Amino acid sequence: MRIALISEHASPLAALGGEDAGGQNTHVAELAAALADAGNDVRVYTRRDDPALPECVAVRPGVTVVHVPAGPAEQVPKDDLLPYMGAFGDWLAAAWGGDWRPDVAHAHFWMSGLATVSAAQQTGVPVVQTYHALGVVKRRHQGDKDTSPAQRIGYERAVGRAVDAVVSQCRDETAELLRMGVPANRIALIPSGVDHERFTPDGPAEPREPGRPRILSVGRFVERKGFLDLVRALPAVPGAECVIVGGVPGDPLAGRLRELAAELGVADRLRLVGAVKPGDMARWYRSADVLAATPWYEPFGLTPLEAMACGVPVVGTAVGGLRDTVVDGLTGDLVPPRDPRALGLALRRLLRDPVRRLAYGSAALDRARNCYPWSRAADQLSTLYARVSGVRDRETTGAVA
Ligand code: UDP
């Protein structure tokens, strides 16, 4: 099939760890690769945010990244991109009217959904939507601090009704989508995968101090990842070092984490590494005794799965995708979100119990390998794509199934 993946702000080619570059970039890059490996012709459309970018970049056989000129050719925060989605959609419609018309377009994030639905109205290409994050959930947790455009929630609902299918990444998201009014028969639960070539238990690891347990945490430096809760939990985990990967130089959250650690007397046990290249992430997971994933909410959460694929147990908050990926008491421990006391207790218990860590780690590896290979997600999506494009063909030709 010819498959268009639309990811307006999250390019598969971007550096990760900054405020707007993380899981969606990884997801789109790895999904494109898995679909191409299955024999599809994939084009990823993302906004041109640097004048030096060529229009097309062949990333690997079967995958081309296309830089769409919509808005200024410079970095713009994702929450400010809405005004350019009309131009993005018109550009897609014009491109799909030429010699490369996709059989299906799969939009990632609500703004890509708007651009794609607009292009689909002009071209008849069927549309699948993955939200990656939902405005209603963000508003519930962040209230006044939510910087999303005011129209987000309404537009997300409209996109959910306009597209042919919506992919949910976890059971929690399915419930949210149903509450948003997305018809149940249009929702397909297809979780992300993890790259089992990159994330393996064997291979080089970052050096560490002998005898000092290591808690690793990874993510974009946004408050909802709960890094402050993790630092608050540190006094309850004596002797352990806490290594946080992610963030960009000068990030205000880094300053707050350091101040808090100093107030709590744990500054010597907190290490902020900054952003790490995707290719180096496995080295950091392998160096850890446990991954602490502490979000307040999480649409899916790739980092717990990446750690599991490296045989590392997870202590995580019982939210969103973590409730599906981490099996409490088998591959890790789940604690309530924003509860440093419970987090500290769970981390201390696990770090003091090497047998439990080993058992969790091997069950985690098993689960990541068996339940979350990208090939499985790509298979399920291919079936969904075939279904929606078949439905659209029947609609346009007037044939009866
Ligand atoms: N990541 C990375 N370098 C960093 C920080 C994160 O490559 O310095 C990657 C990480 O390996 C994962 C993604 O960014 O693939 C984060 O995804 P997740 O779903 O955990 O969080 P999101 O960014 O979607 O909130």
Residue 55 has pLDDT above 60, yes or no: yes
What are the counts of helices (DSSP H) followed by strands (DSSP E) for the chain? 14, 14
Computed on alpha carbons and rounded to an integer, the radius of gyration of the chain in Å comes to 21
pLDDT tens, 347-392?
Answer: 999 999 999 999 999 999 999 999 999 999 999 999 999 999 985 5
Q: Whose CA is nearest to atom 4 of ligand 1?
A: 17
pTM listed for this prediction: 0.93
Residue 335 CB less than 6 A away from ligand 1: no
Please give the pLDDT value at position 186. Answer: 96
For the segment 125-144, the average pLDDT, to the nearest whole number, is 95
Q: pLDDT tens digit string along 188-240?
A: 999 999 999 999 999 999 999 999 999 999 999 999 999 999 999 999 999 99
On the question of pLDDT at 397 being above 80, the answer is: no
* Residue 312, ligand 1, Cβ within 6 A: no
CA-proximal residue: ligand 1, atom 22 (nearest): 23
Please, what is the average pLDDT of the chain?
A: 95
SS3 20: coil
Distance of CA 307 to the CA centre of its chain: 14
The predicted pLDDT at position 199 comes to 98
Neighbours of 105 (CB within 10 A): 31
Interatomic CA distance for residues 382 and 3, integer angstroms:
10
**pLDDT tens digits, 286-325:** 999 999 999 999 999 999 999 999 999 999 999 999 999 9
Ligand 1 neighbourhood includes 246 CB (under 6 angstroms): yes
Q: Is 301 in the pocket of ligand 1 (CB under 6 A)?
A: yes
Protein residue whose Cα sits closest to atom 14 of ligand 1: 22
Question: Does the beta carbon of 281 sit less than 6 angstroms from any atom of ligand 1?
Answer: yes
Residue 303 CB–ligand 1 contact under 6 Å: yes
pLDDT in tens, 63-99: 999 999 999 999 999 999 999 999 999 999 999 998 8
- Give the class (CATH, top level) of 214-371: alpha beta
Token look-up 């609609």 returns 395
| From-to residues of CATH 3.40.50.2000 in the chain | 2-193+374-397, 214-371
Which helix (DSSP H) or strand (DSSP E) does residue 174 occupy? helix 171-180
What is residue 189's three-state secondary structure?
A: strand
Q: What is the ipTM of this complex?
A: 0.98
Judged against a pLDDT cut of 50, whether residue 400 lies above it is answered with no
Q: Indicate the CATH number for domain 2-193+374-397.
A: 3.40.50.2000
CB 75 within 8 A of CB 96: no
Q: Is the dihedral of CA 214, 216, 222, 223 positive or negative?
A: negative
> Residue 201 carries which DSSP code?
S
| Residue pair 352/364 in contact by the 8 Å Cβ criterion | no
